[in-house]
A and B are shown apart, each in its own frame.
Chain A
Amino acid sequence: MTLTKAQLVDLIQKETDLSRKKSLVLVESLLEIIKQTLANGEDVLISGFGKFCVKEKNERKGRNPATGDDMMLAPRKVVTFRCSPMLKKTIDS
C-alpha cells in the first residue's frame, strides 16, 4: 500500500512513545522545515537517503501546443531529488 502521512505519524508515534497528536505535529514540522529550507534556496542533504536540490531554470523559448504560438517561459526554480547510492542499492536489490 502507498505510504502516506497518516502511516508516518503512526510509525513515529510507536518509535517515540509520544501522543498521536504530538506525532502529527512533528511530521508537519519536519515537512515545514524541509519546505522552508528549499524555499530559501538551500539544499537539504540526508546522507544515506538523498539530496533535495533547488535548481534554477533559465528563461527559454516555448510554444503553446494548442495554438502553436511562440512564447517565452520565464526563469523559474524547481526542486529536484538526487538519490544517494545507498538508497539506490536498497531499492535495486
Chain B
Amino acid sequence: MNRSELIITIKDKANLSRKNAEKVVDTFFDAIKETLSTGERVEIRGFGSFAVKNYKPYIGRNPKTGVQINVPSKKLPFFKAGKELKEMVDRPF
C-alpha cells in the first residue's frame, strides 16, 4: 500500500473529501518528520515509536583498498514497533 492508496482507503472508511483525506495523511507524516528533525521522539501507543540516533564521527576504511576515510557524524531515524502492532503482525487472525 502506498500513500495514495492510503488516502483513498481513509477517505472511503471515514467518509471524507479527497482533500481532507490528503490533509490527514500528509499532516500525520509531516508532523513526525518535523519532530524527528528537531531530534525529538515520536510515541504512538499501540503503533510504535520513532527516535533519532546520533552517530559520532569515526575513521572508516574501505575494506577493498584499505584507504582510510573520515566518516562524519550522522543522525538516523529508527522505528520500534509497539506491542499491539507486533502481536497483530505475528499472529494474524
Contacts and interface: CB of A to CB of B under 8 A. Distances in A.
B2 A45 contact: yes
Contacts of A8: 27-28, 31, 44
Interface residues of B, number: 47
A1 B20 contact: no
Interface residues of A, number: 51
A87 B77 contact: yes
A81 B37 CA distance: 17
Interface string B28-50: 11011101110011111111101
B88 interface: yes
A46 B29 CA distance: 9
Interface string B41-66: 11111111010100000000000000
